[in-house]
Amino acid sequence: MIPALALSALLVMAAAHSKPGVLKFQAGQTEFKRGDFLGALRILDAAAAETTDDQLLGQIHLLRGQCLAARQDFSGAQEAFGLALRHDPDVRLDPSKVDPALVSMLDSQRSRLRGQLVVHADKPGAQVWLDGKQIGEAPLKSSVPIGQHTVEVRTPDRRFADRQEVTIRPRQSAEINAELKEQAPNTGGASDAMHPFADIRGTLDPFLGGDNFGFEVGGGLEYKHFRASVSAALFPDFGINLRGAFNVPVVDGFNAYISLEMPIIFSSPVQFGLGGAGGLEYEVRRWFDPFFEVGVRHLFTGADGIDSNRLILQFGIRLKVP
């Protein structure tokens, strides 16, 4: 048993070393550690000429860049790092073992290099998300940073979706043909949990004389398409406003919603009423939604001689906890 295992290990090692360019790359590493940077460059150039393996070429040019930087040839080092990234977009330098200036040089090269992402979907109007950020609607062609990315394609109601990993290489095009599948109902995941949020909103009554602008802050809970909140009216009068809302996705991060509200203003006398509104919100980020709505209110109590019906325009931002 032991001789058989030893023989297998030797065969694996032999196969690895028989890969074109590997032995020369290892010899270049040895010369680099000894401080013979010129000798290491000669060996690494020979190793690069022997292989067509992109991952190995990425490592070879990465070490060439370190050799050139050690010889104060920083323009040559930048060029070598660019070649490394072209062969392997995910190549990295360990900041705990390498001069931070070289790590920054490599990251700077990475940020400048871009490739093209092409996405097709089998359902019209599907939205495309790259690493959690919406970038458009399929069919889509977009310039994106190089490296490994997560692409999610889904219908606006999130009923159908597809998720794929893709590697973007410099000046090359990566194509995804998304086959959207119906998503099973989530019986206990994060999407079915209640999420807290905060509202900051301004209110405007265009037909009310005097102080027709107001300011409110509040918060509440969101569950799927439903929201419940309470806001404090801080200006021009102090009061509270209880709200319930129902929202639906429209397109490209836009949601439409309707809401019912119960305003209570602690003036003299106290004003109490009911109202409704319709609005539109845009999901800039998963946690940040600006919104605008138009609504009406009817006040059942209040000062005599003042119209009990109100047209209310509201606008603001909603901050959500994912």
What is the pLDDT confidence band of residue 322, given thresholds at 50, 70 and 90? low
**pLDDT tens per residue, range 197-213:** 999 999 988 877 667 78
Q: What is the pLDDT of residue 10?
A: 45
**pLDDT tens per residue, range 255-312:** 899 999 999 988 878 888 999 999 999 888 778 899 999 999 998 887 666 678 889 9
Walk me through the domains of the chain, giving residue ranges and CATH numbers: 2-112 (1.25.40.10), 114-182 (2.60.40.1120), 191-320 (2.40.160.20)
Q: What is the pLDDT of residue 11?
A: 43
Q: What is the pLDDT of residue 224?
A: 82
Burial class (CB in 10 A: 0-12, 13-18, 19+), 282: middle
Kindly report which listed range (10-14, 184-188, 201-205, 297-301) carries the lowest average pLDDT score: 10-14
What pTM does this model have? 0.49
Q: What is the pLDDT of residue 277?
A: 95
- Integer angstrom CA distances of residue 83 from 20, 64, 78, 98, 321: 19, 10, 9, 19, 42
Q: What is the pLDDT of residue 243?
A: 96
Kindly report which listed range (92-106, 160-174, 179-193, 223-237) carries the lowest average pLDDT score: 179-193
**pLDDT tens per residue, range 41-59:** 999 999 989 888 888 988 9
- Predicted confidence (pLDDT) at residue 189 exceeds the cutoff of 70: no
What is the pLDDT confidence band of residue 110, given thresholds at 50, 70 and 90? confident
**pLDDT tens per residue, range 113-137:** 889 999 999 988 899 999 988 898 9
What is the pLDDT confidence band of residue 63, given thresholds at 50, 70 and 90? very high
What is the pLDDT confidence band of residue 90, given thresholds at 50, 70 and 90? confident
